[in-house]
């Protein structure tokens, strides 16, 4: 057998799927649990979790940043919103959303105002006036006439063959009975708006599937024949409300609605409640519909250098600057598709947009090519797809260069990423409980965790050695199977394993607690930096089994910068 010394001093690929174990260009691990890959390529135990509050139930977290020194954490639960500032509950508000609604709730913030949208609910506005937050309905700008509001109007597909007979109504001169040629109306049409006879109409009463009563501003002359040239407000209880939202080039932009999933509505420049397209002046509102061979359902929209539109089947970009009604350059760049059944807020990482693909197993990076004319959607988890399944929430902490993705099983897939240094390492976070939501606020990463019957608000704290005050954190890093001269090892013996550590107070290697100098394990002592080893004379192993495992659960820091294996092999 041939003698060998093999050192791994770079773990930049993190935990990789077994299908990549036979590759020679992988600087990864077979398992990485509750540990992070550092910028230098080494390994460190993750931070502990510090509790802030016990919540009334399951919750979703949202960050509301007004300025660098005024940041608020929003905790959304069943019909309630709890606002925290400096880890103290600041204010409580009632909301119209159940906990089940929160998975599709999207939002956009501008200064001290945040607008929430949901396909089944009227948009809501959260604003801060002096020291008080308040919630109100989003209101479209009214014209001089009380009846006329600047809401967009559409002819929906199911109304294409509907005609309306307008007749007088005894309620008053401003009222009319609207009779359709077949069943069309529902009770949800009440308070919805129509446009015909060059005026807006407000439906005030539902009579039957073929009749409603509507009100308009001023008297009118009923046409002698049924009319087919009419339209409905794009947003209503009947047709649903905007699904996604962002601000871009000083326009408020809605992407998709329940009944018009491929529409994009852009407000007047600087007048975010005015969606009247007018005569097409440069500053007036814009409406477009995505057209392609496939049905496009807009999942979310992102304001970056360009306006990015992520649908269930692809990624579109509007690249005009300034964006005007006469110069909308829209093009589909990639065909990955986004996760449609759950809103996972896209994250900005190093001038790129990170989103979850439609299959729920890919993390994609939408970025411009070197020429700057074409977007690509690179796969960030090609080596580690086994770690990403059924994602439910996502956040990026820029100060840590760390992406957190909550999974439906209550664990988190975590990406440590630093493209400058070649770090793109996935691992898993676990705790004694289930992660439900995650959010970055004021450079801290917060999580909602179900522990037994309790729901807790906690955050990761590098000074914490426990989770939730007294729960040990089990961590583990396992090496890859041995390969030599680009071949799999068929037989080998390992004599010694050595780990080079920094500021470490306790370490286990292959279930052996390694003796550190002076055996000092008290929390106030200085950790050991140097080489620690275990001897394994006579040990042989399965060629698919990891040769080394570094693990532990004691409440002490540990940093590993390399692992060296001494032994002999045959291939």
Q: Nearest CA to 535 among 571, 488, 495, 508?
A: 495
Q: Nearest CA to 417 among 406, 429, 427, 430?
A: 427
**pLDDT confidence band for 539 (50 / 70 / 90):** low
Q: Nearest CA to 13 among 23, 3, 2?
A: 23
Which strand (E) or helix (H) includes residue 174?
A: none
CA 476 to chain centroid = 27
What are the residues facing 378 on neighbouring strands? Answer: 365
In whole angstroms, give the CA distance from residue 322 to residue 316.
Answer: 18
Size of the chain in residues: 571
Residue 541 pLDDT > 60: no
Residues 6+ apart with CB under 8 A from 469: 50, 51
* 199 found inside a domain: yes
In whole angstroms, give the CA distance from residue 11 to residue 27.
Answer: 5
Q: Is 224 exposed, middle or buried (0-12, 13-18, 19+ CB in 10 A)?
A: exposed
Q: If you write DSSP's letter for every residue of 231-270 in order, what string do you get?
A: EEESSBTTTB-EEEEEEETTEEEEEEESS-TTEEEEPBTT
In whole angstroms, give the CA distance from residue 59 to residue 77.
Answer: 5
* 272 found inside a domain: no
**How many domains is the chain built from?**
2
Contacts 24+ apart (CB under 8 A), 249-254: 249/307, 249/321, 249/322, 249/323, 251/286, 251/323, 252/108, 252/115, 253/301, 253/303, 253/307, 254/117
Residues 9-23, mean pLDDT to the nearest whole number: 93
The answer to whether 491 and 570 have CB atoms below 8 angstroms apart is yes
187 φ/ψ sector (left φ>0, alpha ψ -120 to 50, else beta):
alpha
* 393 found inside a domain: no
Helix residue ranges, H only, 349-470: none
Residues 513-527, mean pLDDT to the nearest whole number: 67
Neighbour-count burial for 152-191, b at 16+ CB within 10 Å, e otherwise = bbbeeeebeebbbbbeebeeeebbbbbbbeeebbeeebbe
Residue with the two structure tokens 């439609």: 358
* 489 found inside a domain: yes
The answer to whether 73 and 312 have CB atoms below 8 angstroms apart is no
The CATH number linked to 168 is 2.40.10
Distance set, CA 6 to CA 182, 482, 543, 562, 565 (Å): 79, 9, 15, 10, 5
Phi, psi dihedral angles at 188 (to 5 degrees): -70, -10
Of 516 and 436, which is predicted with more confidence? 436
Residues 6+ apart with CB under 8 A from 115: 107, 108, 109, 123, 124, 125, 126, 138, 245, 252
pLDDT (0 to 100) of residue 537:
66
**Domain assignment of residue 180, given as a range:** 153-233
Residue 522 pLDDT > 60: no
Q: What is this structure's pTM?
A: 0.94
Torsion angle (degrees, nearest 10) of CA 356, 358, 360, 363: -30
Q: Which of 233, 258, 288 delimits the end of a domain?
A: 233
Q: Which of 198, 233, 268 delimits the end of a domain?
A: 233
Share of the chain above pLDDT 90, in %: 78
Q: Nearest CA to 37 among 215, 29, 298?
A: 29
Q: Nearest CA to 140 among 232, 281, 235?
A: 235
Range of weakest confidence among 250-264, 309-323, 365-379, 456-470:
365-379
Q: Indicate the DSSP class of residue 430.
A: -
**pLDDT confidence band for 369 (50 / 70 / 90):** confident
* 85 found inside a domain: no
Identify which of 30-44, 285-299, 359-373 has the greatest average pLDDT.
30-44
* 194 found inside a domain: yes
Residue 179 pLDDT > 70: yes
**pLDDT confidence band for 524 (50 / 70 / 90):** low
Average of per-residue pLDDT values in the chain: 92
Residues 518-534, mean pLDDT to the nearest whole number: 72
Residue with the two structure tokens 């041939």: 2
Distance set, CA 297 to CA 30, 155, 215 (Å): 38, 18, 34
pLDDT (0 to 100) of residue 218:
87
* 305 found inside a domain: no
**pLDDT confidence band for 372 (50 / 70 / 90):** low
Query: Does the N-terminal peptide bond of residue 110 adopt cis geometry, omega within 30 degrees of 0?
Result: no
* 514 found inside a domain: yes
The CATH number linked to 35 is 2.60.120
Range of weakest confidence among 52-56, 141-145, 530-534:
141-145
The tens digit of pLDDT for each residue in 58-74 reads 999 999 999 888 999 99
Q: From edge to edge, which strands make up the β-sheet containing 164-168?
A: 153-154, 231-233, 193-196, 199-208, 211-215, 175-180, 164-168
Residue 434 pLDDT > 90: yes
Q: Nearest CA to 342 among 107, 103, 120, 117?
A: 103
Tokens for 407?
């999974």
Q: Which of 233, 262, 278 delimits the end of a domain?
A: 233
pLDDT (0 to 100) of residue 69:
84
């Amino acid at each position: 057998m041939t003698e060998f010394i093999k050192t791994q001093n770079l773990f930049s690929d993190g935990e990789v799927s077994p299908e990549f174990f036979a590759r020679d260009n992988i600087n990864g691990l077979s398992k990485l649990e509750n540990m992070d890959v550092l910028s230098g390529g080494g390994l460190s135990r993750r931070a502990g979790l510090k509790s802030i509050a016990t919540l009334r139930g399951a919750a979703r977290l949202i960050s509301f940043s007004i300025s660098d020194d005024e940041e608020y954490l929003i905790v959304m639960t069943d019909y309630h919103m709890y606002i925290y500032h400096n880890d103290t509950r600041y204010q409580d508000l009632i909301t119209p959303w159940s906990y089940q609604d929160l998975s599709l709730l999207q939002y956009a913030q501008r200064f001290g105002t945040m607008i929430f949208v949901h396909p089944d609910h009227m948009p809501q506005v959260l604003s801060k006036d002096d020291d008080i937050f308040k919630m109100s309905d989003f209101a479209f700008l009214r014209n001089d006439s009380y009846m006329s509001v600047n809401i967009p109007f559409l002819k929906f597909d199911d109304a294409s063959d509907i005609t309306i007979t307008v007749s007088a109504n005894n309620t008053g001169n401003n009222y009319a009975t609207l009779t359709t040629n077949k069943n069309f109306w529902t009770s949800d049409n009440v308070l919805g708006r129509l446009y015909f006879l060059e005026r807006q109409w407000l439906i005030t009463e539902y009579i039957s599937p073929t009749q409603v009563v509507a009100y308009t501003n001023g008297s009118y002359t009923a046409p002698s024949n049924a009319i087919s040239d009419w339209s409905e407000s794009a947003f209503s209880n009947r047709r649903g409300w905007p699904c996604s939202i962002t601000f871009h080039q000083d326009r408020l932009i809605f992407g998709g609605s329940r009944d018009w999933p491929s529409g994009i509505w852009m407000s007047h420049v600087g007048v975010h409640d005015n969606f009247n397209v007018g005569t097409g002046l440069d500053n007036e509102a814009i409406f477009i519909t995505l057209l392609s061979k496939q049905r496009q359902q807009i999942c979310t929209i992102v304001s970056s250098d360009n306006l990015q539109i992520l649908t269930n089947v692809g990624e579109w970009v509007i690249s005009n600057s300034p964006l005007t009604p006469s110069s909308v350059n829209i093009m589909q760049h990639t065909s990955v598709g986004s996760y449609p059944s759950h809103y996972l807020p896209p994250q900005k990482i190093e001038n790129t947009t990170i989103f979850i693909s439609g299959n729920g197993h890919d993390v994609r990076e939408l970025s411009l090519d070197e020429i700057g004319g074409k977007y690509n959607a690179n796969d960030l988890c090609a080596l580690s797809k086994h770690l990403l399944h059924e994602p439910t929430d996502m956040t990026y902490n820029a100060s840590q260069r760390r992406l957190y993705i909550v999974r439906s099983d209550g664990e988190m897939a975590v990406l440590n990423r630093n493209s400058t240094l070649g770090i793109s390492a996935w691992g898993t976070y676990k705790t004694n409980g289930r992660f439900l939501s995650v959010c970055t606020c004021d450079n801290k990463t917060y999580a909602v965790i179900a522990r037994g019957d309790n729901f807790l608000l906690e955050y990761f704290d590098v000074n914490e050695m426990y989770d939730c005050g007294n729960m040990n954190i089990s961590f583990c890093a396992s090496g890859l199977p041995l390969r030599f001269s680009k071949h799999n090892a068929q037989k080998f013996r390992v004599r010694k394993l050595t780990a080079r550590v920094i500021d470490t107070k306790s370490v286990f290697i292959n279930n052996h607690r390694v003796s550190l100098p002076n055996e000092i394990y008290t929390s106030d002592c200085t950790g050991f930096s140097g080489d620690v080893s275990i001897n394994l004379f006579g040990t042989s192993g399965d060629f698919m089994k990891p040769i080394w495992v570094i693990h532990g659960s004691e409440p002490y820091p540990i940093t590993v910068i390399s692992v060296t294996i001494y032994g002999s092999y045959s291939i």
